[in-house]
Amino acid sequence: MKNDFSAASLTRRQVLKGLGVIASAPILSACDLTNFEKTADLWLSAAGNGKGRNPYALAWGTPNNSNINNKVSGQQSSGFRGHGLSKNPIRANQAIMFSRRLGNQALLMNMHNKKVEHIITSPDHLYMEGHGCFSHDGSLLFCSETNKHTHQGIISVRETQSFKLIKEFASGGIGPHEILMRPNENTLVVANGGLIKD
């Protein structure tokens, strides 16, 4: 069987998309959203083309096992360029999309009725770094953020009833990115990127 792929024929964007699919496989399986719809699995993704009036969105669809070109079945305009996603471990219908670096919002969706439940906004001195996670009991939301003035990484902690900011603590570096709760532990793992971005 002849393979039509060669390094010379792939654009940088195609390579990055392919690597993104491979890298996101564990994330997508961690965000298995089968509880949202009883009839099918559901995938979520930040989406956008940077053009038009509402260029960025949270998109969703049902996986197509026959090929990688899954169809988008719905989307919610976010008003910001999204990056990472997290699912509430207790309220299985809740998913949140975080704005990428230099953004200041996160969009909380009810994936059962496809409605926005809350828009979280960072305080003026912080910007989001694109990731966050819930505590195992779903009562807290941790967000990777950066202090605009000092460039120090911050983990912001919000309670999940009103998403009010209740605490900030140092991430232990610059440019915190992915943050996850270790399974079966109350340990937060933070990947600091080490880059200052203005």
User: For the chain, which residues make up each domain, given as ranges?
Assistant: 7-192
Q: Name 95's Cβ contacts closer than 8 Å, sequence gap at least 6.
A: 31, 33, 44, 58, 85, 86, 87, 88, 108, 109, 111
Topology (CATH) of 7-192: Methylamine Dehydrogenase; Chain H (2.130.10)
Other CB atoms closer than 10 Å to residue 158's CB: what's the count?
19
Has residue 30 got a pLDDT over 90? no
- pLDDT tier for residue 23 given thresholds of 50, 70 and 90: very low
Has residue 181 got a pLDDT over 60? yes
Other CB atoms closer than 10 Å to residue 190's CB: what's the count?
18
Has residue 3 got a pLDDT over 80? no
> If phi over 0 gives left and psi between -120 and 50 gives alpha, with beta otherwise, what is residue 79?
left
* pLDDT more than 90, % of the chain: 48
Which range among 24-33, 52-61, 84-93 shows the weakest confidence by mean pLDDT?
Answer: 24-33
In this structure, the strands spanning 140-147 and 115-121 are: unpaired
Which range among 102-106, 136-140, 184-188 shows the weakest confidence by mean pLDDT?
Answer: 184-188
SS (H, E, C) 15-67: HHHHHHHHHHHHHHHHCCCCCCCCCCCCEEEEEECCCCCCCEEEEEECCCCCC
Contact between residue 122 and residue 128 where contact means Cβ atoms under 8 Å apart: yes
Mean pLDDT for the stretch of residues 152-160? 97
Has residue 36 got a pLDDT over 80? no
Confidence at residue 37, expressed as pLDDT on a 0 to 100 scale: 37
Has residue 189 got a pLDDT over 80? yes
Contact between residue 97 and residue 58 where contact means Cβ atoms under 8 Å apart: yes
- pLDDT tier for residue 31 given thresholds of 50, 70 and 90: very low
Confidence at residue 143, expressed as pLDDT on a 0 to 100 scale: 97
Distance (Å, rounded) from C-alpha 30 to C-alpha 4?
Answer: 32
- Mean pLDDT score of the chain, rounded to an integer? 79
> If phi over 0 gives left and psi between -120 and 50 gives alpha, with beta otherwise, what is residue 25?
alpha
Contact between residue 192 and residue 177 where contact means Cβ atoms under 8 Å apart: yes
Tokens representing 15? 């390579």
Confidence at residue 45, expressed as pLDDT on a 0 to 100 scale: 84
- pLDDT tier for residue 50 given thresholds of 50, 70 and 90: low
Please choose, from the candidates 136, 182, 128, the residue with its C-alpha nearest in 3D space to the C-alpha of residue 155: 128
pLDDT in tens, 93-133: 899 999 998 899 999 999 889 999 999 999 999 999 999 99
Q: Tabulate helix, strand, coil % of the chain (nearest 5).
A: 10, 40, 45
Distance (Å, rounded) from C-alpha 98 to C-alpha 164?
Answer: 16
* pLDDT more than 70, % of the chain: 73
